[in-house]
Copies of this chain bind each other. A is one copy, B any other.
Amino acid sequence: MSQVLADTLPQAPVAVLSGPSFAADIAVDRPAGVTLACADPVLGARLEQAIGSARFRVYLSDDVIGAQLGGVLKNVLAIACGIAAGKKLGNSMRAMLVARGLAETVDLGLAIGARLETFLGLSGIGDIDLSCNSPQSRNMSLGIALGEGRSLADVLGERITVQEGVHSASAVAALADRLGVEMPIAQRIDRILNHGADPDREFESLMALPFGVERAVVPWLRRGTNLA
């Protein structure tokens, strides 16, 4: 979205607010913490002052790209966790999807110029943790229905709310393909949601992948390639 803004409103400064913050919590003044990313530290500090409070904690960052990625991937990973839950694969499996999903989010992030530490923060693991543990949320409940064997058309047909993850999976998979980043979970969720693949078969092939070394960041990713 920051790139869309830069294209359409080139003179406007851009700031990104993202993090684990259910509207139902914020509305009744329950505590929450979010990331506010802005390339201009003076503007960032002013926004932090204007928005932040003891109940709504606003943590500053200058990683505008990285702060946007957690909010996209969380929906895709929540669908993956939902499928696992619908298939009754257990919470250990769900936690594995969170950790390995975070790892592939980091790989994509580094490829488009984000910084590793952003993903350790509120807009990264904070938001992913919340979405992947919210069975009642739109995206995870969609995954649960798919995992229980219902068809995508059936589930989407009876809903009026948006499942961002369906569109995000497509955009993420296209970006990963273009940049040569392996995202075993996100790419499978895209195949299930947008290309008619069978959830059972995709999950079996996910589990059949070799495991090897835990953090296999591709060396050229470490140098930080940019999207442009």
Contacts and interface: CB of A to CB of B under 8 A. Distances in A.
A60 to B, nearest CB: 5
A120 B127 CA distance: 14
Contacts of A35: 214
Given A55-B207, A103-B121, A120-B106, A92 B214 contact: no
A7 interface: no
How many identical subunits does the complex contain?
A: 2
Interface stretch (A9-17, A129-137, A144-152, A162-170): A129-137
Contacts of A2: none
Contacts of A196: none
A47 to B, nearest CB: 13
A99 B116 contact: no
Contacts of A55: 207
Interface stretch (A21-29, A175-183, A187-195): A21-29
Of A20, A21, A58, most buried by chain B (CB within 10 Å of CB) is A20
Contacts of A90: 22, 24-25, 30-32
A174 interface: no
B61 A213 contact: yes
B121 A20 contact: no
Interface string A85-98: 00001111111101
A186 interface: no
Interface in A28-67: 30-33, 35, 48, 52, 54-55, 57-61
Contact of A95 (B24, B60, B91, B126): B126
A138 interface: no
A98 B124 CA distance: 11
Contacts of A24: 90
9 contacts: A25-B92, A31-B93, A32-B90, A32-B96, A54-B207, A94-B130, A96-B126, A98-B125, A120-B120
Interface of A: 19-22, 24-26, 30-33, 35, 48, 52, 54-55, 57-61, 89-96, 98-100, 102-103, 106, 116-122, 124-127, 129-130, 132-134, 207-208, 211-215, 217
